[in-house]
Amino acid sequence: MNPHFWLFCTVIDNFGDVGVAWRLAQALVRKFDATVHLWLDDFSALQKIAPDAAQSVVQLHAWQEGQEIDISQLEIPQLVIETFACTLPENVVTLMAKHRILWLNWEYLSAEDWAVRTHAMPSLQRNGASKYFWQMGFLPETGGLLREEDLMTRANHYSQHHAENTDLTLFLFGYQSPVWAKWLRIWQQFQRPLTLHLADNKIINSLKAQQFLPEHALIESDVYHSGCLKLCRLPFVPQQQFDELLWQADILMIRGEDSFVRAQYAGKPFMWHIYPQQEQAHLEKLAAFWRLPFHLAQNNPVFTEIKTFQAAFLALSDELNGAQILDEKTCAQNWQTLFDGLPIWRLLAQNWRDYLWQQSDAMTRLATFLAEKTK
Ligand code: TRH
């Protein structure tokens, strides 16, 4: 008998909520040979990341938070997952209490201590049911990260069949910010040919808002030259092909949550444009993450010269994420340090990727958790 799992997701904005829910739904099917039902309140983002979702084995349902759902034709599930603390339908909560169904809150990814501490902890609900926190994370004691079994094979196959870039190529997938125009102006001063792959339209819009790009740029044509910079607008690809966009580039500027994880598995130098939160709460989350790869590097004799690189990197990462504004000269010096330090940046990313790779993935950890809870 294959298990039945139910998954609920509300789309806040962009592609990350649905991106994680969709990846998770497919991972559950693969790992547990499960029948997975996914309830979503907005299908437009799913349509973009998975245009063939309707033909998938994942069973899709429309739902709005606060509404009950029709469960009369469905088998009782063994597991119900609410992603990112969305509020489950009242009749599902009642069903779970009656049949003692396992209930998980699949949380946003964070390296902060509280997230590590609360992983797999139960929180008692008003109806007596226990809801468990699933804290995805980077350490063995967390809920781990989603990754497909064939990811490394696909990545190796890609690099074996594609030549290295002639110009240094940066993949840029970030949020709206004036920092992009500032950084591109600085990169222009270096006189080094750079190819910039621009995904989504937020960075392009930022460059236009700051008059770095004219309004017509990257509309009629996919390529725009500005001094030594070649800007290429990427088409939006289905999520299954997203990794290839990362493998094509030499440096990855990524955002949110799912693309952030994929960049780490790509093992390429990356910088994280974290999703901004109220009262700058994202800055603690950002710092908590970067402590990990840099700490890991400290224990590796290959990284004797990392201190200067680390200072420049963290200053730029802070600037990208609104923690500080650097004066032009310091900003340019820091970027020079990063470009000169590309070999260190590469090793840092590979060292971190290897560390993640040695760990079990989220589905393996979930299988152990389910086995324990259903004993
Ligand atoms: O899009 P994001 O910024 O998403 C989010 C949401 O804003 C959310 O509310 C917030 O909670 C979360 O970030 C932290 O970034 P993310 O998470 O990287 O998701 C992007 C998804 O889009 C990811 O699954 C990859 C996918 N994608 C494609 O499939 N094709 C593409 O061409 C591109 C550019 C992205």
Quote the pLDDT of residue 68: 96
User: pLDDT tens for residues 100-134?
Assistant: 999 999 999 999 999 999 999 998 887 777 899 99
- Full-model pTM: 0.97
Question: Is 17 an active-site residue?
Answer: yes
Q: Does residue 167 sit in the same domain as residue 276?
A: yes
Q: Are strands 130-134 and 102-106 parallel, antiparallel or unpaired?
A: parallel
Question: Which residue range is the domain that position 111 belongs to?
Answer: 4-144+360-373
CB-neighbour burial class of residue 350 (10 A; exposed 0-12, middle 13-18, buried 19+): middle
List b or e across 178-195, with b for residues whose CB sees 16 or more CB atoms inside 10 angstroms. ebbbbbbbbbeeeeeebb
Query: Is the shortest distance between the CB of 14 and ligand 1 below 6 Å?
Result: yes
User: Using alpha carbons only, what angle is made at residue 359 by residues 358 and 363, rounded to the nearest 5 degrees?
Assistant: 135
Instruction: Kindly give the number of the ligand 1 atom that is closest to the alpha carbon of 254.
Output: 18
Q: Are residues 111 and 240 in the same domain?
A: no
> 3-state SS of 264-301?
HHHCCCEEEECCCCHHHHHHHHHHHHHHHHHHHHHCCH
Regions of the chain with pLDDT less than 70: none
Asked whether the beta carbons of 5 and 81 are under 8 A apart, the reply is yes
Task: Yes or no: say if 105 and 85 are a contact pair by the CB < 8 Å rule.
Answer: yes
pLDDT of residue 213: 97
Q: Are residues 28 and 10 in the same domain?
A: yes
Q: Tell me what pLDDT residue 216 has.
A: 94
* Euclidean distance between CA atoms 312 and 159, whole angstroms: 29
Atom number of ligand 1 nearest to Cα 45: 22
Cα(255) to ligand 1 centroid in Å equals 7
- CA dist 274 and 265 (Å) reads 17
Does 243 contact ligand 1 (Cβ within 6 A)? no
b/e burial code for range 334-344 (CB count within 10 A of at least 16 → b): bbebbeebeeb
| CA–CA gap between residue 274 and residue 161 (Å, rounded) | 32
CB of 85 within 6 A of ligand 1: the answer is no
Spot the catalytic one: 257, 258, 319, 361.
257
From the candidates 17, 107, 200, 361, give the one annotated as an active-site residue: 17
What whole-number distance in Å separates Cα of residue 179 and Cα of residue 322?
Answer: 9
Tell me: the pLDDT tens digits for 316-362?
Answer: 999 999 999 999 999 999 999 999 999 999 999 999 999 999 999 99
Residues 353 and 366 grouped into a single domain: no
Q: How many distinct structural domains can be found in the chain?
A: 2
Residue recorded with tokens 């990811």: 151
Tell me if 309 CB under 6 Å of ligand 1.
no
**Hey, which of 12, 14, 248 would you mutate to test ligand 1's pocket, going by the most ligand atoms within 8 Å of its Cβ?**
14
208 and 73 fall within a common domain:
no
15 C-alpha to center of ligand 1: Å?
4
Angle at alpha carbon of residue 187, lines to 169 and 310, rounded to 5° = 80
Task: Examine the domain organization and report whether 180 and 327 are in the same domain.
Answer: yes
Q: Are residues 320 and 181 in the same domain?
A: yes
HSE, CB side, 13 Å, CA atoms: give it for residue 221.
8
Q: How far apart are CA 153 and CA 142, in angstroms?
A: 25
* 135 and 167 fall within a common domain: no
User: Taking CA 369 as the corner, what is the angle to CA 367 and CA 375, rounded to the nearest 5 degrees?
Assistant: 100
263: CATH: 3.40.50.2000
Tell me the three-class secondary structure of 151-217, residue by residue: HHHHHHHHHHHCCCCCCEEEEECCCCCCHHHHHHHHHHHCCCCEEEEECCCHHHHHHHHCCCCCCCC
Ligand 1 proximity of 319 Cβ (cutoff 6 Å): no
The Cα–Cα gap between 352 and 342 comes to: 15
137 and 190 co-located in one domain: no
Question: What DSSP designation does 108 have?
Answer: P
Q: Rounded CA gap, 328 and 158, in Å? A: 38
Active site residue 149: no
Which of 122, 139, 140 lies closest to 131, judged by CA? Answer: 122
- The pLDDT of residue 4 is 98
Q: Are residues 172 and 296 in the same domain?
A: yes
Q: 77 CA distance to ligand 1 centroid (A)?
A: 28
Atom of ligand 1 nearest to the CA of 199: 34
Whether the CB of 114 sits within 6 Å of ligand 1: no
Give the Å distance between the CA of 275 and the centre of ligand 1.
10
Distance from residue 44's CA to the centre of ligand 1 (Å): 13
pLDDT, mean over the chain = 96
With a 6 Å cutoff on the Cβ, whether 275 touches ligand 1 is yes
Integer Cα distance of 313 and 114 in angstroms: 26
CATH of the domain at 14: 3.40.50
Query: Does residue 155 share a domain with residue 297?
Result: yes
Tokens 């998954």 correspond to: 7
List the structure tokens of 368: 């152990």
Atom of ligand 1 nearest to the CA of 175: 3
CA of 16 to the centre of ligand 1 (A): 4
Atom of ligand 1 nearest to the CA of 14: 1
3-state secondary structure (DSSP) of residue 132: strand
The rounded distance, in Å, linking the Cα atoms of 356 and 362 is: 11
CB-ligand 1 contact for 361 (6 Å cutoff): no
Same domain for 162 and 303? yes
The whole-angstrom separation of Cα 174 and Cα 169 is 16
